[in-house]
């Protein structure tokens, strides 16, 4: 008796796998690399500030050593020298010029941004380009005409001259920023305000301003920082009466003696108002920049 031959071969057994190899995700790898790069860039910005704070708490002899002495004793000599030199008039002048000019800029920029975004005037793009063109000329090119004008009208060493200059310098920036914020305001809110009989001033104050408050805060902070840090006009156009904090800070740099610790201490103190304003408006600043950037 013949045995039937198997017509079909038995299926081959699948090879046993020792475990599937892990394939890294290119997106995760690129995200990790970008995160490391961001940390490196952040440290490059922070380390000089940390170094300046560390130097400010040392004596002049220890601060001037090369290489620096990391085990040098701490000292408040630089801060004592700074406050003994009576910096309060200069700090008050900087605060006055920065705050007053920022308030004037906001009062002028909000209606202008309203006219260029919500109720656009004719050839509004040309108006925006004109505002932008005022920043094309280098500041030093206008220094001599402004000095001669201030000398002619007896405004040299006058804080109101700086307020006028800072207002004119920051107004185009504020208008551009607020225009992008006002473009996000829903038109239904404005139509409802018109139905209720609200005028332009009331609409700006009670309807638009609360909605774009983050944008107003971010524009105000940037204008305040620019005004506080400005030194060229203040150095040339002021003397002893309207001297600002950056000009006062340059007086510590002398050709004789050591001044590194004292300059670092003075820089820390002068930077505190800007840091305080930034921390106070941090949430509003982030919201404002996000609102103005995302359409």
Q: What is the pLDDT of residues 64-76, one digit of tens each?
A: 887 777 778 888 8
What's residue 8's pLDDT?
47
pLDDT single digits (tens) 200-218 = 788 888 888 888 888 888 8
Q: The pTM is what?
A: 0.80
Token output for 132: 């932008």
Please give the Cα distance from 183 to 118 (Å, whole number). 7
Average pLDDT over residues 120-130: 78
236 and 149 Cβ atoms separated by less than 8 Å: no
How do residues 142-177 score in pLDDT, each as one tens digit?
899 999 999 999 999 999 999 999 999 999 999 988
What is the per-residue pLDDT for 210?
83
Quick one: CA torsion of 242, 244, 249, 250, rounded to 10 degrees? -60
Other beta carbons less than 10 A from residue 9's beta carbon? 6
Range 71-75 contact pairs with CB under 8 angstroms and sequence separation of 24 or more: 75/261
Query: Measured between alpha carbons, how far apart are the two ends of the chain, in Å?
Result: 88
3-state secondary structure the chain: CCCCCCCCCCCCCCCCCCCCCCCCCHHHHHHHHHHHHHHHHHHHHHHHHHHHHHHHCCCHHHHCCCCCCCCCCCCCHHHHHHHHCCCHHHHHHHHHHHHHHHHHHHHHHHHHHHHHHCCCCCCHHHHHHHHHHCCCCCHHHHHHHHHHHHHHCCCCCCHHHHHHHHHHHHHHHHHHHHHHHHCCCCHHHHHHHHHCCCCHHHHHHHHHHHHCHHHHHHHHHHHHHHHHHCCHHHHHHCCCCCCCHHHHHHCCCCCCCCCHHHHHHHHHHHHHHHHHHHHHCHHHHHHHHHHHHCC
Integer Cα distance of 242 and 169 in angstroms: 18
Q: Which residues contact 251 (CB under 8 A, 6 or more apart)?
A: 85
State both tokens at 145: 């005409």
What percent of the chain has a predicted confidence (pLDDT) above 70?
Answer: 86
Using an 8 Å Cβ cutoff, are 260 and 52 in contact? no
Distance CA 163, CA 161 (A): 5
Q: How far apart are CA 166 and CA 51, in angstroms?
A: 31
- Band of pLDDT at residue 7, cut at 50, 70 and 90: very low
Residue among 105, 144, 101, 100 at smallest CA distance from 233: 144
So what's the pLDDT on residue 295? 43
Q: Is the pLDDT of residue 293 over 50?
A: no
């Amino acid at each position: 008796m013949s045995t039937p031959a198997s017509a079909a071969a038995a299926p081959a057994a699948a090879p046993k796998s020792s475990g599937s190899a892990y394939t890294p995700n290119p997106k995760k790898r690129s995200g990790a690399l970008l995160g490391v790069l961001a940390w490196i860039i952040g440290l490059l910005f922070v380390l000089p500030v940390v170094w300046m704070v560390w130097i400010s708490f040392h004596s002049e002899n220890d601060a001037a050593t090369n290489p620096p002495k990391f085990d040098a004793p701490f000292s408040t000599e630089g801060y004592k020298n700074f406050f003994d030199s009576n910096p309060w008039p200069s700090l008050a002048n900087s605060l006055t010029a920065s705050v007053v000019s920022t308030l004037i800029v906001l009062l002028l920029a909000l209606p202008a941004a309203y006219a260029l975004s919500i109720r656009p005037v004719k050839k509004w793009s040309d108006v925006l380009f004109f505002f932008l063109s005022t920043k094309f000329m280098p500041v030093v090119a206008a220094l001599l005409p402004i000095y001669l004008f201030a000398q002619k009208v007896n405004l040299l060493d006058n804080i109101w001259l700086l307020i006028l200059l800072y207002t004119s310098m920051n107004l185009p920036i504020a208008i551009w920023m607020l225009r992008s914020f006002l473009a996000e305001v829903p038109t239904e809110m404005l139509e409802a305000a018109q139905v209720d009989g609200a005028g332009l001033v009331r609409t700006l104050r009670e309807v638009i301003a609360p909605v774009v408050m983050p944008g107003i805060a971010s524009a105000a902070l940037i204008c305040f920082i620019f005004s506080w840090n400005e030194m060229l006009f203040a150095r040339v156009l002021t003397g002893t009466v309207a001297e600002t904090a950056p000009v006062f800070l340059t007086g510590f740099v002398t050709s004789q003696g050591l001044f590194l610790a004292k300059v670092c201490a003075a820089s820390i103190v002068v930077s505190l108002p800007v840091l305080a304003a930034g921390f106070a408006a941090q949430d509003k600043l982030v919201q404002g920049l996000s609102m103005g950037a995302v359409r």
